[in-house]
Structure 1
Amino acid sequence: MKIVIAPDSFKGSLTAKEASQAIHDGFIKVFPNAEYVLVPMADGGEGTVQSLVDATNGKLLEKKVCGPLEKTVTAKYGILGDGKTGVIEMAEASGIGYVTKETKNPLVTTTYGTGELIMACVEQGVKKIIIGIGGSATNDGGSGMAEALGVKFLDKNGNQIPRGGGGLSKLDRIDMSNIDPRLKDVELIIASDVTNPLCGEKGASHVFGPQKGATKEMIQILDSNLKHYADVIKKQLGKDVADVPGTGAAGGLGAGLLVFTNSKMQKGIDIVVNYVKLEEKLRNAKLCVTGEGGIDFQTQFGKAPFGVAQAAKKVSKDLPVIAIAGSLGREYQELYDKGFDAIFGTIEQVQPLEEVIAAAKESLIRTAENVARAIKITI
């Protein structure tokens, strides 16, 4: 019996690889002779680098880069097993985890470090880069990222404008003459499920600005600055990005990538499913087990377990899909019409969060064993 185990990470407690192994350890107690295929998953957000590196036998690297507040941070990135594909999470360099309630300020935070990670991949000789752009602390339209690639953003006097969303008001001219020529031969795949445009009421500043520390006054400034930025891009580079779906992702980093790199957007989970060759691994399976830290009705909107379930049902409508989650949230039952055949939670009693996290591995092993025993009854 072939069993494919393909969970996302259990945030704060287990990586996707550790979760895969824990589910395996529970099932093997009941089905010791089964064939197990472990496929760590992600959806383009946190954990994508680790999952794709694990799934492809790639390598994990580190680089000191400029953080969102222009302090040096150590960021991880990956080179996949093919040696030709890099994978980045922008949050590793420019994420909201690097700012506090007191230091959040999208007028000054920059994506420069994300550009440095892109160049680190280029230095490794890659021909393709997958970049997850969730969890940003920035609202600079990707101008900081582009600066790290060699683009110059100049004011009326020919001086470099200040980094951050606030500095864009001074933008007069974009100088592309020093952009690294190697980027022409590198394809970037932007992993994002965000469909917001760059500007306007549904744009980057209005929708995502508040969580990055923007006040009502700041939001108006930031949105006006991104509109000006888009106008300069359209006038000087001939690219109209103000209203393109997805350009508002990560404070406009989506727009910056589309303008200054050879890139395209895809749903994060679709990218991961493709790169780990999930459908191929699901062929001839008798059971698919997925999961993540929390499952609720929102799981169907691009989360990893949903992508796994869809891939499984594409391979065979009769392939059972079981999900195991740390916690089951609101209206998770909606997923029974979305490719899931059974859903289980691991938390057995009320206890402090730190105790739940500490016991996550044992709880997952125990729940997986219980699921396997229930399955055995029906065989």
Structure 2
Amino acid sequence: MKIVVAPDSFKESMTALEVADACERGIKRAIPGADVVKVPMADGGEGTVQSLVDATGGELFYHSVTGPLGDEVRAAYGMLGDGKTAVIEMAEASGLHLVPPCNREPLLATTRGTGELMQAALDAGAKHLIIGLGGSATNDGGAGMAAALGVKFLDAHGKTLQDGAGALKELAEVDLKGLDPRWQHVSVEVACDVENPLIGPNGASVVFGPQKGADEEMVQQLDNILEHYAAIVEAAVGKTIKQVPGAGAAGGLGAGLIAFVPAKLKSGITIVKEAAGLADHMKDAQLVITGEGKIDGQTIYGKTPIGVAKTAKQFEIPVIAIAGNIGKGSEAVYDHGIDAVFSITPGVIDLEKALENGAANVEQTLYNISKMLQLSR
């Protein structure tokens, strides 16, 4: 029996590979001869780098880069097993978790560190980049990222602007002469699961600015700045970025990537499935196991279990999902390719113990599921 195990990570408890390993142990206790194929997954958010590195036999590379407020932070990108594809989570270098709530300042925050990671991957020989958006502390339209790649943002006197959205109100010219020409020969896929444009009532500043520390007045200021920024960038690069769906992701980093590198915005789970070769692994399988920390009514909106299930259904393979927490609306997943859902929680237990014993609980759950499979066969 061939079983493909393709879970997401269980946040704060296990990486996707650790979940897959625990699944394998449980399956093989019950069905020693089972052929278990492990494909760690992610949806483009937190854990994507680790999952794809694990799935492809790749490697992590650490660099000191510029943090959201200009301080130095340690961040990693992954080089996948093909030696040509690099994967980056922008939050590694420019994430909200790097800035204490009392210090959050979207007028000053920069995506420069994300650009430095991109440049490091390019220098290491990457020909294809996967960049996960989300969890950003920034609202600079990707200007800091572009500056790290060699773009200059100048005021009316030809002086280079400082990093951060606040300085962009003085933007008069975008100088592309220093942009590394190698970027024109690299494909960039951007994992983006929101459709917010750069500006306007559904834009980066209005929707995401408050969680980054912006009050009502600053939100309007940020939106006006990004509108000014977009007009000048569009004239410089000959591309429209303001109203592109997804351009507002990560404080407008989506827009910056579209503008300055050959980037395409795609569903995160779609990018990860393709990079991990999930469909190829599923050929001739009799069962697929997937899962994530919580399965509820939101799972159907671009989350890993549904993405995995859609691929499995191309081959008419049944899908079982496991979760640490099964929440309200979870039954919706049955209309999207998942055939059964199981909780790994053995009973009434506090969160700390549940996280601590996650691997053991996954193993026991898969042992029980596998015994049931034996009975049904």
What is the TM-score of this pair, normalised by structure 1?
0.98
Q: CA–CA distance in 2 between the matches of 1:310 and 1:66? A: 39
Do 2:325 and 2:345's aligned partners in 1 also have CA atoms closer than 8 Å? yes
Partner of 2:235: 235
Partner of 1:370: 368
Residue 24 of structure 1: how far off its partner (Å): 0.9
Map Cα deviations across residues 32-70 of structure 1 (whole Å, 9 max, x no partner). Answer: 111110110011111111111111111111011001011
Query: C-alpha displacement at 1:114, in angstroms?
Result: 0.3
- What SS does the corresponding residue of 2:299 show, helix, strand or coil? helix
Matching residue's letter, 1:42: A
Q: Provide the residue aligned with 2:321 in structure 1.
A: 323
SS of the counterpart of 1:300? coil
Alpha-carbon distance between aligned partners in 1 of 2:346 and 2:137, rounded to the nearest angstrom: 36
Q: CA shift at 1:352, angstroms?
A: 2.8
The within-5 A match list for 1:101-116 is 101-116=101-116
In 2, the alpha carbon distance for the partners of 1:304 and 1:191 equals 13
- Give the match's secondary structure for 1:241: coil
Rounded Cα–Cα distance in structure 1 between residues aligned with 2:78 and 2:212 = 27
Q: How many residues are paired up?
A: 377
In the aligned structure 1, how far is the partner of 2:350 from the partner of 2:207? Answer: 33
Partner SS for 1:62: strand
CA distance in 1, matches of 2:37, 2:269: 19
Counterpart residue identity of residue 238, structure 2: G
Partner of 2:48: 48
Which whole-Å deviations, capped at 9, do the CAs of 1:210-260 have from their partners, x for residues lacking one? 111111111001000000001111233322211111100100000000001
Q: Could you say which residue in structure 1 is the equivalent of 2:191?
A: 191
Q: Counterparts of 2:73 and 2:221 in 1: how far apart (Å)?
A: 28
Whole-Å separation in 2 of the counterparts to 1:243 and 1:266: 16
What is the match of residue 288 of structure 1? Answer: 288
TM-score by length of 2: 0.98
Instruction: Show the counterpart of 1:119.
Output: 119
Question: CA offsets per residue over residues 107-153 of structure 1, 9 Å max, x none?
Answer: 11100000000000011111111110111110000000000000011
Report 1:120-159 matches (<5 A).
Answer: 120-159=120-159
AA matched with 1:362: A
> What displacement does 1:350 show?
3.1
- Equivalent position amino acid for 2:95 in 1: G
Query: In 1, Cα distance between the equivalents of 2:255 and 2:39?
Result: 32
Match of 1:339 in 2: 337
Q: Match of 1:64, SS? A: strand
**Helix, strand or coil at the partner of 2:153:** strand
Tell me the CA shift for residue 348 of structure 1: 2.8
Q: Which amino acid aligns with 2:190?
A: I
- State the 1:292 CA deviation: 0.7
Q: Please give the secondary structure, in 2, of the residue aligned with 1:76.
A: strand
Question: What is the alpha-carbon distance in structure 1 between the residues aligned to residue 16 and residue 91 of structure 2?
Answer: 18
Task: Give the letter aligned to residue 242 of structure 1.
Answer: K
C-alpha deviation, 1:364, in angstroms:
1.1
The correspondence of residues 166-177 of structure 1 with structure 2, limited to 5 A, is 166-177=166-177
SS in 1 for 2:360: helix
On the 8 A contact 2:237/2:260 being kept in 1, the answer is: no
**How far apart, in 2, do the equivalents of 1:299 and 1:195 lie?**
17
Distance in 2 separating the partners of 1:89 and 1:119: 14
State the AA in 2 paired with 1:341.
D
Moved more, 362-371 or 145-154: 362-371
Contact 2:230–2:241, Cα closer than 8 Å, also in 1: yes
Deviations 1:306-325 (A, max 9, x none): 11000000122xx1100000
Work out the CA distance in 2 between the residues paired with 1:233 and 1:73: 28
CA distance, structure 1, for counterparts of residue 239 and residue 2 of structure 2: 50
Q: Which residue of 1 aligns with 2:23?
A: 23
CA distance in 1, matches of 2:148, 2:22: 41
Partner of 1:309: 309
> How far apart are 1:169 and its partner, in Å?
0.7
Stretch moving more, 352-361 or 145-154: 352-361
Q: Does 1:354 align with 2:352?
A: yes
Q: Which amino acid aligns with 1:98?
A: L
Please give the alpha-carbon distance, in whole angstroms, between the structure 1 residues aligned to 2:224 and 2:272: 35
- Residues of 1 paired with 2:265 and 2:185: CA distance? 17
Is it true that 1:222 corresponds to 2:187 in the alignment? no
Q: What stretches of structure 1 move > 6 A for 4+ residues in a row?
A: none
Using the alignment, how far apart are the partners of 1:96 and 1:147 within structure 2? 20
Contact 2:49–2:87 (8 Å) recurs in 1:
yes
Question: Aligned partners of 2:243 and 2:217: how far apart in 1?
Answer: 22
Distance 1:128 1:22 in 2: 32
CA distance in 1, matches of 2:79, 2:325: 33
Q: Which moved more, 1:111-120 or 1:276-285?
A: 276-285
Shift of 1:183: 1.3
1:100 maps to which residue? 100
In the TM superposition, what are the counterparts of 1:62-77 in structure 2 within 5 Å?
62-77=62-77
- Give the match for residue 89 of structure 2: 89
d(CA) in 1 for partners of 2:8 and 2:133?
A: 17
SS in 2 for 1:10: coil
Shift of 1:18: 0.3
Whole-Å separation in 1 of the counterparts to 2:180 and 2:257: 14
